Structure 1
Amino acid sequence: MLRRANPLDLPEILRRIRDLAEYEREPDAVETTVDDLDAALFGPDPAVFAHVVEAGGRIAGIAVWFLNFSTWTGKHGIYLEDLYVDPASRGAGYGAALLRELARICEVNGYQRIDWSVLKWNAPTIGFYDSLGAVPMDEWVGYRLSDTALKALSD
Structure 2
Amino acid sequence: MHDDAVIRRVTQADLDSLIALMAEHADYERAPFDRPDAPSLATALFAEPPRLFGWIADVAGRCVGYASASREISTWRAADFLHLDCLFVREAARNGGIGKHLLQAAIEEARRQKIDHLEWQTPAWNEDAIRFYRRQGASHANKVRFRLTLRNQP
TM-score by length of 2: 0.87
The 1:43–1:110 alpha-carbon spacing in structure 2 relative to 1, beyond 3 Å, is: closer
Separation in 2, partners of 1:132, 1:43: 31
Which structure: greater helix fraction? Answer: 1
Choose 67-76 or 53-62, whichever is displaced more: 67-76
| SS of corresponding position for 2:153 | helix
Q: Distance in 1 between matches of 2:145 and 2:77?
A: 20
Conserved 8 A contact 1:62-1:84: yes
CA contact 2:19–2:35 (8 Å) conserved in 1: no
CA deviations on 1:14-64 (whole Å, 9 max, x unpaired) are 0100010110123x5233122221122124553111011111211111011
Q: For the residues of structure 1 that align with 2:96 and 2:109, how far apart are their CA atoms?
A: 22
2:144 aligned residue: 141
> 2:71 aligned with 1:67, yes or no?
yes
Looking at structure 2, the residues matched to 106 and 43 of structure 1 have their Cα atoms a distance apart, in angstroms, of 18
Identify which of 10, 13, 17 aligns with 2:22: 17
Decide which of 114, 118, 125 is 2:122's aligned counterpart: 118
Q: Which residue of 1 aligns with 2:45?
A: 41
Given that 1:78 and 1:113 are in contact with CA atoms closer than 8 Å, whether structure 2 keeps it comes out as yes
Q: Percent of aligned pairs with the same residue?
A: 28
Aligned to 2:13: 8
Out of 37-46 and 127-136, give the one that drifted further: 37-46
Structure 1: runs of 5 or more not aligned: none
8 Å CA contact retained: 1:75, 1:112: no
User: Stretches of 4+ moved more than 4 A in 1?
Assistant: none
Contact residue 3 and residue 52 of structure 1 kept, 8 A: yes
**Root-mean-square deviation over aligned CA pairs:** 1.9
User: Between Structure 1 and Structure 2, how many residues are aligned?
Assistant: 149
Q: Quick check: 2:74–2:80 contact (8 Å CA) kept in 1?
A: yes
Q: Which amino acid aligns with 1:151?
A: Q
User: Residue 62 of structure 2 aligns with which residue?
Assistant: 58
Say whether 1:88 aligns with 2:92.
Answer: yes
Tell me by how many angstroms 1:130 deviates: 1.1
Structure 1 partner of 2:108? 104
